[in-house]
Structure 1
């Protein structure tokens, strides 16, 4: 990610100069977007490193959610930047200014190459934070392809409104995808169950374990969108002994790892015994 940061920041400076030279609001908008990307990457790099720290007395579950914090901050930066692009581009539809098409074509070709390579470098990440950054890069590549096509059209036809139209289309497309990813990151912060797993499915799998008669108070949430935590009360047959109880608990903990659950806290109860914990509403 560090290489992608340097590459992105360097190219954003080129875009800023190129946007002023070509008088293109689409390129200036993308320059602003890339500066936002660079800031987001810097935050992501710092918070991703913090997220790998071991748990301690202050953060007993570890620092994994700092990675998700990076995804939230990155998403917010993109949302603000996209709204600013819309504010700047919409008036250009009604008062268009002819951009320098040849210069836009050269910058667009460079933009596709630079951002395409940066996207490849960050595509190997799996966390929400890294996925959000990958979307930054993919959006940049597609945005530059759009600019390239638009610049070729404007080179041969007198349609200066196309420049502002491209900026608006790019901003709306970014907003759509970022809000979707931002929603997933916020669900992690609000301790929602992971989208790909249902607590009912985990409980159903536990019920298949021998001597298990019931499961209640099941709670499932995610540390960072990849590593999940489960807690639950498991009701066992009344004839099980202490040694067998420990074996069943260990069997359940190994089994739930198939769901991406890295930590499971299992409270055992014997059939017929009352549960003293309150229901959660």
Structure 2
């Protein structure tokens, strides 16, 4: 039932959906605000890095600048996808557009992987043929980089969506990168070992690749309609079976729209003596029960004991 239709029939449920949509819109605005802030900061800082990298003759800073431009591109994509994901359902996407947020996380992750591979390609030859950059300029840029990107990472870390979590890794990558540049610049200021900078860059890239693959795995599970980790089908089934008049539960299907909001469908067998009112009561109890698992929509088919279910088993 649409919110408009619900409002027409029941003013009470209409007011409830209005307050819910208002808080949802507020949360959505906060997500977009955090992501837009991170993008502007990243893009601005990438320009500073480009100039600073040329001035200090640091290939590490130049490759980081290119990486940040890639990050900024990924963020534009993520913000666009996040905006689309909060559209209401229509005839094209009956469940709404929430999964576009996950798509944004997947594409952003792929860009991040490409950036990390680029750093590896740049850093490995520098171990063999090192170049000595201007350490004092690198130190100044590194202090600035840690402060700016640290604040951006803190802002984005307040989010819970897959999209924001992927963006947070962009920010953490930048912070860790600048910490390594800072360490490398300090060592190179006092010792003639430019290889340290390249070694740290390689270690950072491998660490980021590991974390991005972990987030990508979670996003792909959403696409492949895996049961969400926060809710167990077996646990929910056992909870439903405890409800009065319920004899059995089967055809339980649980999947996630975006990693946070889940959908469930289930067949519930009631005792032969159950009336229509009993069926409605059991459905209401189940819908209330599953909300704590992050299930925003549950489709419940009630059956009476003694009648065979004709739907196929998904073995």
TM-score by length of 1: 0.97
Partner of 2:18: none
Q: Does the 8 Å contact 1:25/1:163 carry over to 2?
A: no
Between 1 and 2, higher relative CO (CA 8 Å, sep ≥ 6) is seen in 1
| 1:103-147 superposed Cα distances (whole Å, 9 cap, x missing partner) | 111110010111112112222221100111112112211221121
Partner residue of 2:278? 244
Where does residue 277 of structure 1 map in the other structure? Answer: 311
Question: Does 2:238 align with 1:186?
Answer: no
Question: 1:217: how far off?
Answer: 0.8
- Displacement of 1:220: 0.6
Counterpart position of 1:60: 94
Q: CA deviation at 1:174?
A: 1.1
Q: Which runs of 5+ in 1 are unaligned?
A: none
Question: 1:41 & 1:243 partners in 2: Cα distance?
Answer: 51
Contact 1:25 1:167 in 2 (8 A): no
Give runs of aligned pairs for residues 19-98 of structure 1, distance below 5 A: 19-98=53-132
Q: Give ranges in structure 2 of 5+ residues lacking alignment.
A: 1-34
Deviations 1:223-271 (A, max 9, x none): 0000000111111111100111011011101110010000000111111
What is the rounded CA distance, in whole Å, between the counterparts of 1:219 and 1:29 in structure 2?
A: 47
Q: How many residues align?
A: 281
Partner residue, 1:210: 244
SS of equivalent residue, structure 2 residue 131:
coil
**What's the offset of the Cα at 1:83?**
0.8
Distance 1:272 1:26 in 2: 72
Q: Which residue is 1:255 aligned to?
A: 289
Q: SS state of the match for residue 260, structure 2?
A: coil
- Secondary structure of the structure 1 residue equivalent to 2:267: strand
Residue 177 (structure 2) aligned to one of 143, 149, 156: 143
> Which sits farther off after the overlay, 266-275 or 58-67?
266-275
Deviation at 1:24, TM superposition (A): 2.4
Query: TM-score scaled to structure 2, two decimals?
Result: 0.87
Q: CA deviation at 1:25?
A: 2.9
Asked if residue 103 in structure 1 is aligned to residue 154 in structure 2, the reply is no
Superposed CA offset, 1:20-49 (max 9, x none): 222323222321221121111111111111
